[in-house]
C-alpha cells in the first residue's frame, strides 16, 4: 500500500509505503507494479535495480541519461539518510531548471518516482547510507550526462560546502550549457 503526494512538478511523485510494525520489527511492500500503476497512472517497466553505499558527506550527481536511453527512477534509502535532489531538465516543462529536495531515510518509508528528463543526485547524511533505485532503462555510459552539483544557476541548498564528489562528477557541465545544447 502506497500513498502518493504531489511535488509541484509534473510527473515527479513523492511516495510513502505503508509499514506494518510490531514487537518483531517491521514489514513493508516497497514495490507492487499493479498498485503503482493504479495509484500513479504509470506503468514503468523497471529493468535494472541499483544500490550505492556512501559515507556521510558523499554527494552523487546530478546524473541523467539522454535519448534513446532516458531513465525514470524509483528511489529510496534502505539504511541511513540522504538529501535527494531532482532537477527538471525537460525542454517544455513549466518547472524547467527548478529543483525538488526531499530527505529520504530508513524510518519514514518515503520514495521518489523521478520521470525521464530529470537530473538526479543525493547527499549521504549518515555513514553507511544505502540508497537503492529501480531504473526503466539499462545504464548506457555513452548517453550519461552530469550537471554540476554546485551550479550557481540552480542554487541548490545542499547544506554542505565541501562534499566528497567523484572526479567524474566534478567535470560535469553547467546547467546553462546543458540547456543551450538541448
Helix/strand/coil for 7: coil
CB 129 within 8 Å of CB 82: yes
63, 69, 99, 120: which one is catalytic?
Answer: 63
Catalytic, 133? Answer yes
Dist CA 96 CA 153 (whole Å) = 12
CB atoms within 10 A of CB 145: 16
Q: Choose, from 14, 99, 120, 133, the residue flagged as catalytic.
A: 133
Known catalytic residue at 99 = no
d(CA 101, CA 154): 12
* Whether the Cβ atoms of residue 131 and residue 79 lie closer than 8 Å to each other: no
Residues catalogued as catalytic: 63, 133
Amino acid at each position: 500500500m502506497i500513498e502518493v503526494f504531489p511535488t509541484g512538478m509534473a510527473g515527479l511523485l513523492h511516495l510513502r509505503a505503508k509499514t506494518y510494525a510490531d514487537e518483531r520489527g517491521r514489514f513493508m511492500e516497497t514495490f507492487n507494479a499493479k498498485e503503482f500503476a493504479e495509484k500513479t497512472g504509470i506503468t514503468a517497466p523497471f529493468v535494472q535495480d541499483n544500490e550505492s553505499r556512501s559515507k556521510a558527506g558523499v554527494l552523487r550527481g546530478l546524473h541523467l541519461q539522454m535519448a534513446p536511453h532516458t531513465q525514470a527512477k524509483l528511489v529510496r534509502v534502505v539504511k541511513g539518510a540522504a538529501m535527494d535532489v531532482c532537477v527538471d531538465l525537460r525542454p517544455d516543462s513549466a518547472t524547467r531548471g527548478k529543483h525538488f529536495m526531499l530527505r529520504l531515510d530508513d524510518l519514514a518509508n518515503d520514495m521518489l518516482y523521478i520521470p525521464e528528463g530529470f537530473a538526479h543526485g543525493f547527499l549521504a547524511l549518515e555513514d553507511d547510507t544505502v540508497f537503492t533505485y529501480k531504473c526503466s532503462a539499462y545504464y548506457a555510459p555513452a548517453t550519461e550526462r552530469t550537471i554540476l552539483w554546485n551550479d550557481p544557476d540552480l542554487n541548490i541548498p545542499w547544506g554542505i560546502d565541501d562534499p566528497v564528489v567523484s572526479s567524474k562528477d566534478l567535470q560535469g557541465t553547467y546547467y546553462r550549457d546543458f540547456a543551450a545544447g538541448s
